[in-house]
Amino acid sequence: MPTMSDPETTAATAAEIAAEWMRAGSILILTHERPDGDAVGSALGTAEFLRGCGKRADALFPEMLPKRYTGFARAARFEPLSPQMCATYDLILVLDCANPARIATGGMTLHDLEPASCRVLNVDHHRGNTVPGAVNFVDSTAAAASLLTFEIARLTGEKIPQEAATLWYLGITTDTGSFRFANTTPRVLFAAAELLKLGAEQEKVVNAVYFSKPRNQQLFEAELVEKFLKVTDDGKIAYAVLPEEFPVRHGFDMRDSEGVIDLLREIDGTIIAVLAYQRGGEFKFSFRSKERSFPVGPLARRLGGGGHEMAAGATMLLPDAAAAEEFILNNVPGVLQIESEK
């Protein structure tokens, strides 16, 4: 059987991925660093589903999850990945990660794990996926990896537990902006309805994602808007560059910053929103667009990052906030001149 060290990869169908899941007795699930709702939902939801099928299944996170997701983490394993760990599983399943450099392992790469004998499956919905799985299923028309994993699970004919339904509903909800974004298709709404029929706990998801903001985050966001928000290009671009000490002063962990960029995106007249913050010698950039004609995905990919056409991110080595702002002013206005990739 092909293993991690095999150079050849194979494109698969959803049905073939479902068969791979059912053949394996033990599966370790990986996703991308700084996991968002879809990474958490797809990884933990799939782990819960596979456990319900009588398999040993764990979702690995090298660091603790953002606070809003900790109540969903029953099937999580919190520790760095190692070759010895891989050797105890039949299969490694990589979910919701387009770039092998962004797989959350705690420092290792797939190349480091070559001695392991387990098979690698790559399931994703991001355009331009380059993860070298032995078997790959990438559907860029899907709104979320949680949608894909739910659809694959249904193909097995096995029972879907309520816990898995809730987690997949979490992933679909967050990656569609609670069904507000342009990726909310009939396919998405059908899947959401089916998950609710299976007992997905909508109230738990909504309360965790939208109604659990701590006071220090509210103060952090208020000062962000007051002191760091800037606009350019007649207000079409809104951006904020945060120095490293700013979130520290508020006791705010930037791993919990999912959704903060919406403070910029929701401004009337804004098309592109950019949030950048410093961590050590790096700046983390998040890009958002409100219009399909002006995608931010290509810019993020040119920087070695990834994501969706309308929501993407990247990391850059820059000396200070002034350099990060200069990068935004010199590069982001160009997004307003490009059309969506065909």
Q: Is the dihedral of CA 20, 40, 311, 108 positive or negative?
A: negative
In angstroms, the first-to-last Cα distance of the chain is 36
Q: Could you tell me if 230 and 239 are in contact, meaning their C-beta atoms sit under 8 angstroms apart?
A: yes
- What tokens were used for 212? 């659990």
Distance CA 56, CA 40 (A): 18
Q: What share of the chain is helix, strand, coil (3-state, %, to 5)?
A: 40, 20, 40
Q: Identify the pLDDT of residue 117.
A: 62
Q: Identify the pLDDT of residue 342.
A: 37
Predicted TM-score of the model (pTM): 0.88
- What tokens were used for 229? 């928000």
Q: Check whether 42 has a pLDDT greater than 80.
A: yes
Domain residue limits, the chain: 10-210, 215-337
Percent of the chain clearing pLDDT 70 (strictly above): 94
Distance CA 249, CA 258 (A): 19
Q: How confident is the model at residue 338 (pLDDT cuts 50, 70, 90)?
A: low
Distance CA 232, CA 219 (A): 25
What is the CB neighbour count within 10 angstroms for residue 258? 19
Q: Class of the 215-337 domain?
A: alpha beta
Q: Identify the pLDDT of residue 159.
A: 98
Distance CA 195, CA 297 (A): 29
- Nearest to residue 34, comparing CAs of 266, 317, 256, 327? 256
Q: How many residues does the chain have?
A: 342
Q: Could you tell me if 95 and 46 are in contact, meaning their C-beta atoms sit under 8 angstroms apart?
A: yes
DSSP, residue by residue, 192-236: HHHHHHTT--HHHHHHHHHS---HHHHHHHHHIIIII-EEETTTT
Mean pLDDT of 18-39: 96
Going by C-beta distance under 8 Å and a sequence separation of 6 or more, which residues neighbour residue 54? none
Percent of the chain clearing pLDDT 90 (strictly above): 81
Reduce the DSSP state of residue 323 to 3 states and report it.
helix
Arithmetic mean of pLDDT over the chain = 92
Reduce the DSSP state of residue 76 to 3 states and report it.
strand
Q: Check whether 339 has a pLDDT greater than 60.
A: no
Query: Rounded to a whole number, what is the largest CA-CA distance in the chain?
Result: 58
Q: Check whether 324 has a pLDDT greater than 90.
A: yes
114-134: pLDDT as tens digits: 555 678 999 999 988 999 889
Q: According to CATH, what is the number of the domain 10-210?
A: 3.90.1640.10
Tell me which DSSP letter residue 103 carries.
Answer: B
173-201: pLDDT as tens digits: 999 999 999 899 999 999 999 999 999 99
